[in-house]
């Protein structure tokens, strides 16, 4: 009788074959895997100083994520992802000057917002002798928004498989049909399109370090304003460039790995930003890891951002009091505990995010009173079979 391969042998083989250079070719995953993650995302309430009247509560969102990966024959793999979110709360509607002349926020309707979002995507990938190529299609639907998208990517290994070049393309076609459009004089139906191309180069530096550099370019066109804001008018086109660099370094003595990711971003709305992500993966035992994480983010304001809406300005001129277009900085920290029981693994994550104009690396001319602070808790499980 043929003896089944042990879990540890499969895990070892999978890890080894996932690495260019050990395998003679790129290979699909050796086993199937099913993953589920449940998360709660909760934004802090605003203060009465920031919101003189109405709701203080902001978004509370529950997220369910599913992923199924399976090899198909010797050279192919199938990927299925599904997400579902339930959200409630309120978001900034417009901004005015308070009694002291400082900006204050008026929140969306007293009854708040209730919405849900469902998304599914399916993809396949072919693994050849020197690389892999694959694609996916996806569909996302909310009460007031629908997105259909397609993506493709291909990787080629060079230099004894120490260097990998990856090119990816995507296109999304979105429809916006705001709730209560007639009652609040919102747009009835609008469209938005986004196309992206990204090129990345990965390089193994030595037996414990690898580096990746990537450039992505995204063009958006159509209705880019926020239909739920009272006075929001943005240009109908946007070009975004992101330049990302990642380092992975394993410290043998410490039995831990550093993940470091930096991104520089700019767009023609006038936003520039820096993002730095650091994670330390500490192996405590063979089946237990703890992963502290730290992230810093800072952006400039969009050229047309204002922290007090000007209702005399015609909508033909760009204007927005959206806090996401203001200049600010944000610090977030988190901790994950990862337990691996052979075929099963579980990950528990807690994260805290605080945005504040005081953390900005750039000059802040008009601070927003609507910046977000949130707490996120997640529990994920993965089963390989």
Contacts (CB under 8 A) with another protein, residues 189-218: 192, 194, 196-198, 200, 202-214, 216-218
In this structure, the strands spanning 237-251 and 256-267 are antiparallel
Cβ nearer to another protein, comparing 42 with 106: 42
Q: Is 174 in the site for another protein (CB under 8 A)?
A: yes
DSSP-based three-state secondary structure for 13: helix
Query: Residues 212, 215, 221, 225: what is their CA dihedral angle, to the nearest 10 degrees?
Result: 60
Question: Of these, 7, 37, 313, 352, which contacts another protein (CB under 8 A)?
Answer: 37
Report how far residue 131's alpha carbon sits from residue 79's, in angstroms, rounded to the nearest whole number.
18
Q: Smallest gap, in angstroms, from Cβ of residue 67 to another protein?
A: 6
Size of the site for another protein (CB under 8 A): 100
Q: Is 366 in the site for another protein (CB under 8 A)?
A: no
Report how far residue 2's alpha carbon sits from residue 73's, in angstroms, rounded to the nearest whole number.
20
Question: Of these, 77, 230, 330, 364, which contacts another protein (CB under 8 A)?
Answer: 330
Contacts of 346 (CB under 8 A, 6+ apart): 338, 339, 379, 380, 381, 382
Report how far residue 311's alpha carbon sits from residue 308's, in angstroms, rounded to the nearest whole number.
9
Question: Of these, 99, 111, 160, 363, which contacts another protein (CB under 8 A)?
Answer: 160
Q: Is 260 in the site for another protein (CB under 8 A)?
A: no
Cβ nearer to another protein, comparing 207 with 314: 207
Cβ nearer to another protein, comparing 26 with 174: 174
Cβ nearer to another protein, comparing 96 with 218: 218
Which residues inside 272-291 make contact with another protein, applying CB under 8 A?
Answer: 273, 275, 281, 289
Report how far residue 299's alpha carbon sits from residue 168's, in angstroms, rounded to the nearest whole number.
26
Q: Smallest gap, in angstroms, from Cβ of residue 99 to another protein?
A: 29
Which residues inside 100-139 make contact with another protein, applying CB under 8 A?
Answer: 115, 117, 119, 121, 138-139
Q: Smallest gap, in angstroms, from Cβ of residue 60 to another protein?
A: 13
Please report how many Cα atoms fall inside a 13 Å half-sphere around the Cα of residue 49, on the Cβ side. 5
Question: Of these, 32, 65, 88, 96, which contacts another protein (CB under 8 A)?
Answer: 65
Cβ nearer to another protein, comparing 107 with 271: 271
Q: Is 162 in the site for another protein (CB under 8 A)?
A: yes
Q: Smallest gap, in angstroms, from Cβ of residue 377 to another protein?
A: 12
Cβ nearer to another protein, comparing 185 with 206: 206
Q: Nearest to residue 79, comparing CAs of 67, 62, 64, 63? A: 67
Question: Of these, 31, 246, 260, 375, which contacts another protein (CB under 8 A)?
Answer: 246
How is 164-213 classified by DSSP, letter by letter? EEEEEEEEEEEEE--TTTTTTT--S-EEEEEEEEEEEEEEEEETTEEEEE
Cβ nearer to another protein, comparing 293 with 308: 293
Could you tell me if 295 and 275 are in contact, meaning their C-beta atoms sit under 8 angstroms apart?
A: yes
The sign of the CA dihedral 382, 155, 265, 262 is positive
Question: Of these, 108, 132, 153, 233, which contacts another protein (CB under 8 A)?
Answer: 153
């Amino acid at each position: 009788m043929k003896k089944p391969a042990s879990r540890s042998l499969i895990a070892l083989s999978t890890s080894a074959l996932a690495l260019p250079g050990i395998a003679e070719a790129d290979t699909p995953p050796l086993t199937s895997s099913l993953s589920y993650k449940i998360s709660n995302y909760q934004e802090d309430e605003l203060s009465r100083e920031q919101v003189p009247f109405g709701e203080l509560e902001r978004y509370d969102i529950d997220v369910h994520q599913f992923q199924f990966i399976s090899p198909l024959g010797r050279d192919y793999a199938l990927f299925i992802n599904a997400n579902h979110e339930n959200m409630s709360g309120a978001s900034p509607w417009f901004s005015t000057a308070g009694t002291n002349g400082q900006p204050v926020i008026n929140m969306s309707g007293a009854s708040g917002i209730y919405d849900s979002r469902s998304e599914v995507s399916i993809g396949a990938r072919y693994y050849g002798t020197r690389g892999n190529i694959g694609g996916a299609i996806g569909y996302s639907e909310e009460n007031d928004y629908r997105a259909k998208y397609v993506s493709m990517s291909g990787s080629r290994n060079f230099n004894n498989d120490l260097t990998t070049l990856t090119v990816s393309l995507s296109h999304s076609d979105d429809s916006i049909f705001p709730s209560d459009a007639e009652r609040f004089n919102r747009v009835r139906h609008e469209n938005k399109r986004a196309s992206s191309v990204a090129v990345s180069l990965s390089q193994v530096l030595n037996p414990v370090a690898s580096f990746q550099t990537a450039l992505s370019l995204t063009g958006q066109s159509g209705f880019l304003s926020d239909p739920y804001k009272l006075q929001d008018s943005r240009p109908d086109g946007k070009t975004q460039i992101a330049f990302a660099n990642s380092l992975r370094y394993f410290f043998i003595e410490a039995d831990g790995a550093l993940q470091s990711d930096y991104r520089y971003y700019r767009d023609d709305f006038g936003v520039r930003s820096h993002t730095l992500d650091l994670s330390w993966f500490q192996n405590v035992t063979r089946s237990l890891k703890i992963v502290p994480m730290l992230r810093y983010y800072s952006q400039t304001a969009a050229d047309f951002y204002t922290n007090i809406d000007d209702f005399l300005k015609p909508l033909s001129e760009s204007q927005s009091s959206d806090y996401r277009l203001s200049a600010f900085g944000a610090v977030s920290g988190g901790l994950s505990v990862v337990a691996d029981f052979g075929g099963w693994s579980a990950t528990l994550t807690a994260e805290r995010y605080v945005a504040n104009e005081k953390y900005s690396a750039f000059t802040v001319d008009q601070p927003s009173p609507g910046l977000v602070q949130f707490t996120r808790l997640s529990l994920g499980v993965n089963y390989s079979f």
